[in-house]
Amino acid sequence: MATILIVDDDRALREGLAETVADLGHTPLPAASGSEALARLGDTAVAAVLLDLRMPGDLDGMATLARICALPDPPPVTVLTAFASPANTIEAMRLGAHDHLTKPIGRADLAAVLDAMLRSVSAEAIVPAAQSGHPGLVGSSEGMRRVQKTIGLVADTASTVLIQGETGTGKEEVARALHAFGQRRTRPFIPVNCAAIPGDRLESELFGHLRGAFPGATADRAGAFHQAEGGTLFLDEIGDMPAGMQAKILRVLEDCVVTPLGGRSGRVAVRLVAATHRDLPALVAEGRFRADLYYRLAVVPISLPPLRERLADIVPFAEHFLAPSGKRLSGGAASRLLAYDWPGNVRELRNVVERAAVLVRGGVIAGGDLDLPASRTDRRTEDGHAQDWLAGDLPGAVARLERTMIVRALRETEGNRARAARRLGIQRQLLYAKIERYGLGVPDAEMSGEPTSDVANPDASEETERG
């Protein structure tokens, strides 16, 4: 049994959490404000904290989190909010939160996060810094929230980050967020597209040159590594880098020394972030990319899911791109955006939305105003019928989306619920509950009319898979 501090200014929510915590075998310790929470921590041994983000008074959730994490031996803290955003997710993780969850939180999720916090070792206090924003990083889907949490955990470190994802998924925006939320934010962010620069010029672009180093070098030029001194160097499309340059980049990563063409070597202090749409492990296997460089780059890998797997982000992205025009989407337009599979990802969505904003004279963009290929806009449910995602009320729409994603995950994992839960990014116990809620453990017409006996016997192959 552990003492769990519950901090929330809403009495009903506080009492509801306390009841669940008690049912899970722990001792709830309620606090109605940040100040009361800090006082409780001063006179009671607390094993973990559940902290509301939005609270009135001088100490809101983020300020309270910063105070807790600055304690000599802080307990793990999970931030709870009904208003999750990329900025507050990243900042909470950067300040030292164990996790950042959206309300309402189910019993299974609460049990899982409490178990994880109680098993964790208290981290060294992280000194809070002024919050900075990065408006280009949009998204509240589970996939994007995982990305945002990773950004918050590594933003203040010097670790090399490798961002992988399809073209147009927003890899540069993630790199910029890593810079904007970190301690290097006041120093330069220098992006270099390795695929856009000819191989014979790339060395000069990265390392610089002295006058006369080669024909046409009429003046000294600082390379990208020196331009990014103290800040972040972003190497986009590093999978297209020539083999000769790969060896030189590896040397810089290992020694932190750069040699301009025709000049002397000098040390640099730069945080390197790389990105690619290519399958680097496959290129390594083919001998087209150095294995040692790949492992040196992928200290912290971040995988950006394609937009078609992030339905929850499509409309927020569209509204973000529409904001400068002052126009808005109709329900039909939003539904049509959700039905399209976005092969060009966020970049394609931006082009479609901005084109509509320019060409539509009124203040509302209708479904017919969106220039989308008809052949790719008929996203169907598992039973083959067109889905109107926005029909009915909000709980009904969320349930339809949730059920469809679970059915697809179960089908793609051949009914193995452990693998399906990992694919969906949720705890296996929560998946079990949702399978029961939606009746997916019995024969179901929406599962192509076939019995789901493999779903009812979910994890027969799990031990084999682990082996």
> Per residue, what are the HEC states of the chain?
CCEEEEECCCHHHHHHHHHHHHHCCCEEEEECCHHHHHHHHHHCCCCEEEEECCCCCCCCHHHHHHHHHCCCCCCCEEEEECCCCHHHHHHHHHHCCCEEEECCCCHHHHHHHHHHHHHCCCCCCCCCCCCCCCCCCCCCCHHHHHHHHHHHHHCCCCCCEEEEECCCCCHHHHHHHHHHCCCCCCCCEEEEECCCCCHHHHHHHHHEECCCCCCCCCCCEECHHHHCCCCEEEEECHHHCCHHHHHHHHHHHHHCEECCECCCCEECCCEEEEEECCCHHHHHHCCCCCHHHHHHHCCEEEEECCHHHCHHHHHHHHHHHHHHHCCEECHHHHHHHHHCCCCCHHHHHHHHHHHHHHHCCCCEECHHHCCCCHHHCCCECCCCCECCCCCCCHHHHHHHHHHHHHHHHHHHCCCCHHHHHHHHCCCHHHHHHHHHHCCCCCCCHHHCCCCCHHHHCCCCCHHHHHC
On the question of pLDDT at 14 being above 80, the answer is yes
On the question of pLDDT at 375 being above 60, the answer is no
Label residue 391 by pLDDT band (50, 70, 90). Answer: low
Tokens at 375, concatenated: 């052949």
Q: Which of 379, 254, 249 minimizes the C-alpha distance to 308?
A: 379
Tell me, what's the pLDDT at 452?
Answer: 37
Q: What is the pLDDT of residues 95-131, one digit of tens each?
A: 889 999 988 888 888 988 898 888 864 333 333 333 3
Main-chain phi, psi angles of 303, to 5 degrees: -105, 120
On the question of pLDDT at 463 being above 60, the answer is no
On the question of pLDDT at 76 being above 90, the answer is yes
- Rg for the chain (alpha carbons), in Å? 25
Count Cβ atoms within 10 A of the Cβ of residue 129 and give its class: 0-12 exposed, 13-18 middle, 19 or more buried: middle
CA neighbours closer than 13 Å in the CB half-sphere of residue 2: 19
Main-chain phi, psi angles of 411, to 5 degrees: -65, -45
Tokens at 447, concatenated: 């599962």
Contact 190, 224 (CB under 8 A): yes
Quick one: 3-119 is in which CATH superfamily?
A: Response regulator (3.40.50.2300)
On the question of pLDDT at 380 being above 60, the answer is no
Label residue 163 by pLDDT band (50, 70, 90). Answer: very high
Check the CA dihedral 66-181-167-322 and report its sign: positive
Mean pLDDT over the full length of the chain: 82
Flag the least confident range among 10-24, 165-179, 197-211.
197-211
Q: What is the pLDDT of residues 332-341, one digit of tens each?
A: 888 888 888 8
Amino acid at 160: T
Label residue 396 by pLDDT band (50, 70, 90). Answer: low
When pLDDT is averaged across residues 71-87 and rounded to a whole number, the result is: 88
Main-chain phi, psi angles of 143, to 5 degrees: -60, -45
Tell me, what's the pLDDT at 393?
Answer: 64
Four-way CATH pick for 307-376: 1.10.540.10, 1.10.10.60, 1.20.1090.10, 1.10.8.60: 1.10.8.60
Label residue 82 by pLDDT band (50, 70, 90). Answer: confident
On the question of pLDDT at 134 being above 50, the answer is yes
Tell me, what's the pLDDT at 222?
Answer: 86
Label residue 410 by pLDDT band (50, 70, 90). Answer: confident
Tell me, what's the pLDDT at 387?
Answer: 56
Please give the C-alpha separations between residue 54 and each of 141, 294, 397, in angstroms, as whole numbers: 21, 42, 27
Q: Where do the domains of the chain lie?
A: 3-119, 142-304, 307-376, 394-466
pTM of the model: 0.62
Q: Which of 188, 193, 173, 181 minimizes the C-alpha distance to 269?
A: 188
Distance CA 291, CA 204 (A): 24
Flag the least confident range among 136-150, 284-298, 389-403, 407-421.
389-403
What architecture (CATH level 2) is domain 142-304? 3-Layer(aba) Sandwich (3.40)
Tell me, what's the pLDDT at 231?
Answer: 93
Contact 74, 121 (CB under 8 A): no
Specify the higher pLDDT residue, 390 or 324. 324
Contact 46, 29 (CB under 8 A): yes
Label residue 416 by pLDDT band (50, 70, 90). Answer: confident
Flag the least confident range among 142-156, 223-237, 239-253, 425-439.
425-439
Q: Which residue has the tokens 């404000």?
A: 33
Strand order in the sheet with 3-7: 27-31, 3-7, 48-52, 77-81, 99-102
Instruction: Judge if 3-119 and 307-376 fold alike in CATH terms.
Output: no
Tokens at 55, concatenated: 């609270």
Q: Could you report how far apart the first and last alpha carbons of the chain are, in Å?
A: 34
What architecture (CATH level 2) is domain 394-466? Orthogonal Bundle (1.10)
